[in-house]
Amino acid sequence: MATSAIKSVLTRHLHASPGSKKIVGVFYKANEYAALNPNFVGCVEGALGIRDWLESQGHQYIVTDDKEGPNSELEKHIPDLHVLITTPFHPAYVTAERIKKAKNLQLLLTAGIGSDHIDLPAAAAAGLTVAEVTGSNVVSVAEDELMRILILVRNFLPGYHQAISGEWNVAAIAHRAYDLEGKTVGTVGAGRIGKLLLQRLKPFNCNLLYHDRLKMDPELENQIGAKFEEDLDAMLPKCDIIVINTPLTEKTRGLFDKDRIAKCKKGVLIVNNARGAIMDTQAVADACSSGHVAGYSGDVWFPQPAPKDHPWRYMPNHAMTPHISGTTIDAQLRYAAGTKDMLERYFKGEEFPSQNYIVKEGKLASQYQ
């Protein structure tokens, strides 16, 4: 059998066959907030701003926030959908079981960055294409990380709580408030977001370290003023502040367990806008309670949405929020445009930008291997 024929057997053909396609989008619901901003496109009501365009071409477009369980709205459409659009902010967990049921499924698109809510090996084995809008919200996340570093370093939240509760106790804030200047900040992962964060930290005159599977271009490394640390466990004790910027893979799941957190400097501050499952949930809560971790901030949890009894809601010295950093209005417009561009290419049978592929022709992108 010719190579091209073998490939067609293994891969569910990416090029859209003629006729109407069933496209399902899973987004968070905005309710009363939907009408407050015409550019609020990343919600169920906004539907990425592509409904009229899709329906004018004869396609069926179903949008829901109901994603969990056998009786969910998403589950009803799994057997006959062709394209599933998901987001990291309200992730539809695409399991091997769901992939097996989805006989017509060809394309899984992530409106944003990070496709770990999909069982990627199962998607690859089924010949599916998985793609995301690479670069769409990297600035948004890097800015948010910088904000969280400052919130923790300056002990901002206790002061805010005093202001709204009618208290005034400067000592209760100042005893653990510091300057960022002169502190050692290490990022675990220095991809697009990690590099942007390091560039934004440079004017603060910090000592910058990074751990990554790839060393930066020497010119960029010198320009940023960051030092490469090949050994993660050797880097951790040097850091006053640790920022997690690595994808969630089988190698990084639970990377920061009790033992690894114990290797960090006592009083370390941790910011994690990457993925919640990179951390051992209870180990983080215990370390915050003991004071080994002096502050923890991030917008990613596992699972999402986080249950009301999630330990991170109640641990001391945290500055957690729902998953918000990458879904600013600016980011939504970028990932909506990127999703539309890939759908257009899909309908025409054209290739996507190479950096957008997470799974292509049975192969996973390097960051997920």
Q: Give the residue ranges of the annotated binding site for NAD(+).
A: 192-193, 212, 247-251, 273, 299, 323-326
- Judge whether 117 counts as a catalytic residue: no
- Judge whether 175 counts as a catalytic residue: no
- Judge whether 356 counts as a catalytic residue: no
| Nearest in space to 294 (alpha carbons), one of 267, 259, 328 | 267
Residues, the chain, total? 369
Strand segments (E) across the chain: 22-26, 60-64, 83-86, 107-110, 129-132, 184-188, 207-211, 226-228, 241-244, 268-272, 293-298, 318-320, 357-360, 363-364
Q: Which amino acid is at 348?
A: K
- Judge whether 275 counts as a catalytic residue: yes
Asked whether the beta carbons of 57 and 18 are under 8 A apart, the reply is no
Asked whether the beta carbons of 107 and 359 are under 8 A apart, the reply is no
Rounded to whole angstroms, how far apart are CA atoms 18 and 59? 11
Binding residues for substrate: 113, 137
Q: Choosing from 272, 304, 332, 356, which is the catalytic residue?
A: 304
State whether residue 195 is helix, strand or coil. helix
What sections of 95-137 are H helices per DSSP?
A: 96-101, 120-125
Q: Choosing from 323, 334, 345, 356, which is the catalytic residue?
A: 323
Residues with catalytic function: 137, 275, 304, 323
